[in-house]
Structure 1
Amino acid sequence: MCTACACGTETARTEVPVEVGTADGKTYSVSGMTCGHCVSSVSGEIGKVGGVTGVAVDLPTGSVTVNGSGFTDEEIRAAVEQAGYALASRS
C-alpha cells in the first residue's frame, strides 16, 4: 500500500511524467510522492494556484515543474501541503 497517500497501490509507479502546458517553469522537489495517486493529488492542487498554466510531475525523481507566471513559491508550498506532501526545495 502507498504509505504516502494510503490509496492502496501496491508499488510505486514510474510512469511518464504528467504534462500540462508548454512554457518553461520553476522546478520544485516534493517529498513523499510514491504513486500515480500522489502525482494526481499534487498536480491537482498546484493547478489551482492563480497564474499556473501547467504542471509536470516526474515521480521517479520527485520533481514538479510549474509553468506560468504571477505565482509565488509560498503559494506552491501551500498547494503541496494542501495535497498532503512537503515541498523539499526549489531549483
Structure 2
Amino acid sequence: MPDGNNPKIHLPIKGMVCEGCVESVKKALESVEGVERAEVSLENNEAVVTYDPVHATKNTLRKAVQSAGYEVVD
C-alpha cells in the first residue's frame, strides 16, 4: 500500500505527439512493479512517476518507456 513517502522522478520523453502516445507511456510505466502513479504530459514532454525504489529503478522505468516506442532523454 502506498505510504505517500515514495520518491518522484521526472523523465523527459522524446517522441510523443498525441494523447494516444501519452496513454501508451502511462500504461507502460504503470505496468512496472513498484510504480504507484505515472502522470504523463504531452505539453511538457515528460512523465512524473511516483515509485517504490525497492521495486523500481530509473533503468526499469526507462526500459518501460522504450518498450512503448519512446525515448527517455537525459
TM-score above 0.5 = yes
Residues 52-83 of structure 1 deviation map (CA, whole Å, 9 limit, x = unaligned):
01000111110100012121111011100100
* Unaligned 5+ runs, structure 1: 1-21
Q: Which has the higher helix share?
A: 2
Q: Which amino acid aligns with 2:73?
A: A
> Which residue, out of 66, 78, 86, partners 2:63?
78
Cα root mean square deviation, aligned: 1.4
TM superposition outliers: structure 1 runs of 4+ over 2 Å: none
Are positions 1:33 and 2:13 aligned together?
A: no
* Unaligned 5+ runs, structure 2: none
**Per-residue deviation, 1:40:** 0.5
TM value normalised by structure 1? 0.69
The number of aligned residues is 68
**Which one scores higher on RCO, CA 8 angstroms, separation ≥ 6?**
2
- Structure 2 CA distance for aligned equivalents of residues 44 and 28 of structure 1: 15
SS of 2:73 mapped into structure 1? strand
